[in-house]
Structure 1
């Protein structure tokens, strides 16, 4: 049963199409409207169980955790913005949103552009394959000659690019997707041999689709909420995250969304 929070579920805005169109729509939202009391969160759905749509509603672990953290920190949760993953950082820095909650890995490259809260989740990458075909790689070398996909702008794509650089994959055999739902569909349809995706997301796909985890790439990633580098409210969010962990709410969310 879903855990009930005291605040109402906020409305969300879904945008589709190319990244440029998504950014243009987000630009009309006006960020927090100049109010420091409102934090407008942004995400990229299609990354269950972290963020996805269900019954026309934006739900998931990141959604509940971000709303709880914003509320406990003493701010109002603005309307959610749902845009392409690669548009999230530009949208944040253009003041169209105030916080990224999208299963985003903390990396040195991203830290040059935005600030991150304290880590709230750790993950590795999975190599996901069809459970209805004979392709069953057990290691990275077994991917040689295969067609492999990942979502654009993600650390999964970064692992695919590393395999190209190391000569395991051919560049012409790499496929990029706007979201992992499309990637999983292509995998089921036989258009790619494997996709590289975060472990909990891969497990969620394996529970609901004809796909399975072939093996794990140990990356030791940490997820954080993204905020602008000059946004002093990040400390309030960090304090709220610590409180959420200490009082057991975090464990409740993990049980709800991952178990």
Structure 2
């Protein structure tokens, strides 16, 4: 399994338009972050988790042109804003492909409402073809080409959202709380990707302590942190303070997971 971090920033990305924050002015390429998303390659399949507003550029700069399925964590713009740009991928190798999208019922209805013009059926050119696949609250797992995927039910403040587990890899972003049932489904991980938990506090030390506590409870072999705000600090300085086997992800980072 190969995981590519297409983006590792929060909703505004880094640098933020017009910001004079030191991290936004940094010349270190690891401090420049597009909106969060990853692409997973497994058994010649390509799974995209979230389709950010930066999706087109993310695919071009990583030289990707194929997506077999899209998993959506939730409906906030920074996680779905690039959806329209999957149209060229519908025509990969000049063959029309319908791309399945998996998400909560609430999220899929939101997508259909936001992108209503793509579903009108009036367009004959630039065909946009997707299929919606609803993940119910009681869904234990689902399959794509014999690959088992586990939806992970978590919370973004009070909003129920999803993470995803494939084999011994799991991805959780934009979360503030993990229910005990989901914690139990996160055991035995080689790699965990986790956002820096954002509680109602401006104290970055508190944010890191909460995040590291979650990592200690789950006990993955390695953890990569994502969905990173400029307020957290410079990549290099943060990494120096992190414990062993906890890493700050950055755009373009590729990691490999034995399954």
Shorter-chain TM-score above 0.5: no
TM-score by length of 2: 0.27
TM-score by length of 1: 0.27
- Which has the higher relative contact order, 1 or 2, with Cα contacts under 8 A spaced 6 or more apart? 1
Structure with bigger helix share is 1
